[in-house]
Amino acid sequence: MERKNKRVLIISLIALILVVAGASYAYFSARITGLESASTLSMTAGTLGIHYTEGNEEVSMNNIYPKEEAWLTKTFTLTGTNTTELKMKYKVGLNIISNEFTSDALTYDLTHEAVTNGKAISEQTGRMIKSGTNVKQYFGEGYFTNTAGVGIDHEYELKIYFKDNGLDQNINQGKVFNAKIFVEEGSVIPVNKCYTDKTSPLDPYITGQYVYIYNYGSNGDSSNPQLIDLTLMGLDGWSVVSKETYIMMMDSSNYTPSTDPINEQACTSINDKPIVWMVGTYYNTPSTSIDVSSFDTSDVVNMGGMFTGSQANTITGLDKLDTSSVTDMSGMFYNSQATSLNVSNFDTSSVTDMTGMFNHSQSTMLDVSNFDTSNVTIMDCTFCNTVASTIAGLNNFDTSNVTNMRAMFQYTQATTLDLSSFDTTNVTNMRAMFSLTAATQIIGLDHLNTSNVTNMEGMFQYSQATSIDLSSFDTSNVTKISYMFEGSEATTLDLSSFDTSSVIEMIAMFRHMPNLTTIYASNKFDTSSVTYSATMFSDSYNLVGGNGTHYDANHIDDTY
């Protein structure tokens, strides 16, 4: 009954808006256009036919409103005819001409029928559609292997939603969305099939500049390096590390560092088995440049620490990596010295762990606009210690499954952070999230859902932001809040929404804040559970109380 009443109310409001404003609720002028109702692309490895089941590429959705059902269902079939040994790769996505809706309003599902050849794009549910104009959103990459000249189908179904999220969505009234489906050729990797009888981890296959190990791979722990059995994870394939890395780790007494470029052709398969593991592939390599463009990474599941400690100032071929199967990118570019990282084509739709992905990266600019982070659960230190002055694309991040954002932007040198799309409903740890960040502007703080967060220690510690919007912060479950604003450049803090009844630690919460003059708090700022609060206001000498008095730093109590 409540649901029905809500729907009646929405319809009533729509009628009112029609009379008063002369416009429908959330007017949605949408056009999702295929290249043609039926067309063919010429590919390096053959031809790719594109057919839209509806027989018409034009789709219009007008006068839409929030509801659970899809507003658009579009089925299309890609028919691959591959006569070569190459994998005929293709990419599919939306070319968004204009999306004026808020970043979390429109979502899509992509499903496919079972395939008998190659690999289809991973199925996706509830993915956010990017906002903005003239932007591309990739669904992912699929491929056909040799089809013996016969056309093989990959059939997809795309659904677009404007869902009722239970909140006031009038902000999307009168907004417009225009887009079209695009299909393009993916990266072409020259085939280099290798064969060997060396399948023991104790006697690996060494050829060119690489070492390949069958069904065993690095555990990624530099303090306790070990080989782990990949078959225990259901894998059947090879791991690969550079020869430099292998000798350094396994026979350091005979190791002579070389700065020579690593650019030789890699094996695309060994004994007809794929590369599946690239953990620590270039760990601490002294080479001045690395070229990864010859790797077939379509079956790789783990790239953790892949370039950790690499001294290469240039890494080419990143745009050709097929990362659609990768689940772990933790520490991928940790302490990498490359000054430019082209990750714009990364398919991160399967990634769950981005811990320290760019930690200490020396790249001067990061563009993560095409990252699909809908399955990521850990973003601990993802961008911490980065020197990039700009991190483009944060405003399109889907963080709905993330639970850990500890130190995510700690020591980040980016001058602006746009978190307007962040859904932090499931986050429990925000410790040091913006600690020591150089960002003077943090957009979207007012949208953060912090209802499940338990740790906010040092969250804005020594942050350069002069204005911090905490109006929506729910701190009812927070137990640790020490150092939260210590050294922050903020001049005023409005903590009116703060419920601190569960907090037990407030040590140095407002310490070393010479610019702070005012703190607004409500009676929910409850310190009755606090057991540690030493130096809570120490050295915040411009902070003035409501009666014009300054805080006495010599006063020690648990009530303020």
Q: Which pLDDT value is given to residue 32?
A: 34
Please give the structure tokens belonging to residue 163: 């869902």
DSSP secondary structure code for residue 149 in this structure: T
Strand 289-291 to 314-316 pairing? parallel
Q: Are 50 and 40 in contact (CB under 8 A)?
A: yes
3 state SS of 6: helix
Q: Write out the two tokens for 78.
A: 């890609």
CA distance 249 to 252: 6
Phi, psi dihedrals of residue 16, rounded to the nearest 5°: -65, -45
- pLDDT for 10: 31
Class of domain 25-185: mainly beta
Q: How far apart are CA 546 and CA 538, in angstroms?
A: 18
Q: Of 281, 273, 327, nearest to 301 (Cα)?
A: 327
Q: What are phi and psi of 455, to 5 degrees?
A: -130, 115
pLDDT tens for the chain, 560 residues: list them: 444 333 332 322 232 222 222 223 334 443 333 333 457 888 888 899 888 876 545 555 667 788 899 988 989 999 999 999 999 999 999 988 888 888 778 999 999 999 999 999 999 999 999 888 898 899 999 999 999 999 999 999 999 999 887 777 888 888 888 888 889 999 889 999 999 999 999 999 999 999 999 999 999 887 888 899 999 999 999 999 999 999 888 877 777 889 999 999 999 999 999 999 999 999 999 999 999 999 999 999 999 999 999 999 999 999 999 999 999 999 999 999 999 999 999 999 999 999 999 999 999 999 999 999 999 999 999 999 999 999 999 998 999 999 999 999 999 999 999 999 999 999 999 999 999 999 999 999 998 999 999 999 999 999 999 999 999 999 999 999 999 999 999 999 999 999 999 999 999 999 999 999 999 999 999 999 999 999 999 999 898 765 555 555 554 444 44
Structure tokens at 223: 């303090």
Position 533 scores a pLDDT of 93
Assigned token pair, 390? 């700009």
Residue 170's pLDDT is what? 84
Residue 226: name the closest of 184, 287, 169, 279 by CA.
Answer: 279
Structure tokens at 122: 């991973």
Domain extents in the chain? 25-185, 414-560
What whole-number distance in Å separates Cα of residue 278 and Cα of residue 140?
A: 20
Quick one: pLDDT at residue 365? 96
Query: pLDDT at position 473, please?
Result: 97
* CA 306 to chain CA mean position, Å: 17
pLDDT of 362 reads 98
CB atoms within 10 A of CB 509: 26
Length of the chain: 560
Query: Which sign does the torsion angle of CA 367, 369, 372, 374 carry?
Result: positive
Task: Report pTM.
Answer: 0.87
Question: Which DSSP string do the residues of 431-490 spell out, in sequence order?
Answer: TTTTTT---SEEETGGG---TT--B-TTTTTT---S----TT---TT--B-TTTTTT---
Judge contact between 267 and 193, C-beta under 8 A: yes
Residue 254 burial class via C-beta count within 10 angstroms: exposed 0-12, middle 13-18, buried 19 and up: exposed
Q: Which amino acid is at 246?
A: Y
Give Cα 50 distance to the centre of its chain. Answer: 30
Q: Return the closest-CA partner of residue 463 out of 492, 442, 447.
A: 442
Q: For position 336, what pLDDT does the model report?
A: 98
Strands (DSSP E) found in 170-266: 177-185, 193-194, 205-207, 210-214, 216-218, 227-229, 238-242
Query: Nearest-CA neighbor of 333 among 313, 351, 314, 360?
Result: 360
Q: Which residues contact 105 (CB under 8 A, 6 or more apart)?
A: 162, 169, 172, 175
Q: What is the DSSP letter of 14?
A: H
Task: Classify strands 152-162 and 72-82 as parallel, antiparallel or unpaired.
Answer: antiparallel
